[in-house]
Amino acid sequence: MSIPVSLIRCGSYDPEAVWSAVRASLEPMGGMGAFVKQGQRVLLKPNLLIGKPPEVAVTTHPEIVRAVAMEVQEAGGKVFLGDSPALGSITSILSKTGIDKVVEDLEIGVVPFRNPVTVPVPGGTVFKSIEISDEPRKFDVLINLPKLKTHTLMLLTLAVKNLFGSVVGVSKAGWHFRAKNDSRFADLLLDISRVVKPDLNILDGVLAMEGNGPGSGDPRWTHLIVASPSAMALDQVTASVLGVGPDMFMMLARAREQGIEGSLPEHITTFGLSIKEAAVRNFRLPVTAKKADFSLPPFIKGRIRQSLSAYPVLNTERCITCGACADICPVNAIVLHDGGGGDVDRSVCISCFCCQEICPERAIDPVEGRMLRVMKKLGVA
């Protein structure tokens, strides 16, 4: 059966406009009532990467959370909200993002993802079991609320990537280390999506992030809300809207190789806008963007590998020496300087960009290695 994906225009975060767009996105699927029944406990999983105000587009906007929560309550559900930020408490992040006001207004229960459990991954390609938070599994309905952003390692972070939030706190960096490279990390994300399966996904693509996301990119109005019961179908359609195909988007390429439902255009039916009508022109991708088939084989080592990779550089001017990057680095590659900034030991750095992702000051820039720059110029990477 064809998977529905709604593409709805939303001009601003005016509460009425967002509520009407969210409602319109669910209409072709039978409305929120098709997903939530009277008395059910419903968990919303927004993107709560770090505590930043909504206008910098790092986290899911409070008005998206409000509109979805209101729809759930109207359908008779009891609303909860949870995530496991890599650094900082969920309470402080909710307050900095403005979501705390929505939580208070609508009496939403807050559920920090704390308890890791090891679960088997049926059909897992790389990992036969993974350690994820127990909390999302305790609810009747899971609604995924990702933000449309670029991602230095994965190119884009949409619905499937947002499920990585179910890995508890700092152990996220450990999984980067275990995955080692971007293709295996894409496989890990797909394995997580085999275990954590949202009933509904609603993407906040009203104010998106382009450039060097997910924490240090630039806000860009794309005026879209995308909804689907399938995280993969939502990602595939959104990537097409941005003009990104599987030749660049590793996760989509790996999903197609694995025959995952929703990863091909023939698996889906779009409602609302067509992909052409929704198309976002000249969406700026991270400087690390490269072809999906450009994973380096293990025999390429040392300086050649470094030269073919992108790596992080700390900006002395912007760095406030908070230490978050050094704390999260899974291979202890960062040595901070007293006066700000620091050095990255490229001989051990695995280019996971966890450091850049959580830097609160946009003080870490991804830089391409010399050979990678040359190959890009020649059009072979």
In whole angstroms, the minimum distance from the beta carbon of 331 to ligand SF4 comes to 5
Residue of 152, 157, 156 lying closest to 287 (CA atoms): 152
Token pair, residue 56, equals 């910098």
In whole angstroms, the minimum distance from the beta carbon of 202 to ligand SF4 comes to 30
Amino acid at position 232, single letter: M
Instruction: Please give the Cα distance from 328 to 171 (Å, whole number).
Output: 9
Among the candidate windows 73-81, 95-103, 211-219, 355-363, which touches ligand SF4 by CB under 6 A? 355-363
**Toward ligand SF4, which CB reaches closer, 52 or 78?**
52
Instruction: Pick one of 232, 280, 350, 375: the residue that binds ligand SF4 (CB under 6 A).
Output: 350
Q: Does 353 bind ligand SF4 (CB under 6 A)?
A: yes
In whole angstroms, the minimum distance from the beta carbon of 246 to ligand SF4 comes to 24
Instruction: Pick one of 6, 162, 166, 351: the residue that binds ligand SF4 (CB under 6 A).
Output: 351
Burial of residue 293, with CB atoms counted within 10 A of its CB: 0-12 exposed, 13-18 middle, 19 or more buried: exposed
Tokens 């394995």: give the residue: 191
Q: Omega into 15 within 30° of 0, i.e. cis?
A: no
In whole angstroms, the minimum distance from the beta carbon of 360 to ligand SF4 comes to 6
**Toward ligand SF4, which CB reaches closer, 10 or 155?**
155
Considering only residues 358-377, where is the footprint of ligand SF4 by CB under 6 A?
359, 361, 363-364
Q: Are 227 and 203 in contact (CB under 8 A)?
A: yes
Q: Does residue 334 sit in helix, strand or coil?
A: strand
Size of the site for ligand SF4 (CB under 6 A): 26
In whole angstroms, the minimum distance from the beta carbon of 125 to ligand SF4 comes to 23
Considering only residues 56-75, where is the footprint of ligand SF4 by CB under 6 A?
none
C-alpha separations of 161 from 70, 137, 150, 282 in Å:
25, 18, 11, 22
State the binding string over 308-347 for ligand SF4 (x if CB under 6 A, else -). Answer: ----x-x----xxxxxxx---x-x-xx-x-------x---
HSE-up of 13 (CA within 13 Å, CB side)?
Answer: 17
Token pair, residue 292, equals 């999906």
**Toward ligand SF4, which CB reaches closer, 246 or 360?**
360
Among the candidate windows 220-228, 229-237, 279-287, 348-356, which touches ligand SF4 by CB under 6 A? 348-356
In whole angstroms, the minimum distance from the beta carbon of 334 to ligand SF4 comes to 5
Alpha-helix residue ranges (DSSP H) falling in the chain: 15-26, 62-74, 90-97, 99-105, 159-162, 171-179, 182-195, 231-241, 250-257, 275-278, 302-307, 324-328, 354-358, 370-377
Residues, the chain: 381
Across-strand partners of 79? 42
**Toward ligand SF4, which CB reaches closer, 251 or 350?**
350
Q: Does 154 bind ligand SF4 (CB under 6 A)?
A: no
Q: Does 179 bind ligand SF4 (CB under 6 A)?
A: no
Q: Does 355 bind ligand SF4 (CB under 6 A)?
A: yes
Q: Are strands 334-336 and 342-344 parallel, antiparallel or unpaired?
A: antiparallel
Contacts of 265 (CB under 8 A, 6+ apart): 236, 240
In whole angstroms, the minimum distance from the beta carbon of 263 to ligand SF4 comes to 28
In whole angstroms, the minimum distance from the beta carbon of 359 to ligand SF4 comes to 3
**Toward ligand SF4, which CB reaches closer, 46 or 312?**
312
What phi and psi, each to the nearest 5 degrees, are found at residue 315?
-90, 110
In whole angstroms, the minimum distance from the beta carbon of 286 to ligand SF4 comes to 13
In the complex, the residues that contact ligand SF4 under the rule CB under 6 A are 312, 314, 319-325, 329, 331, 333-334, 336, 344, 349-355, 359, 361, 363-364
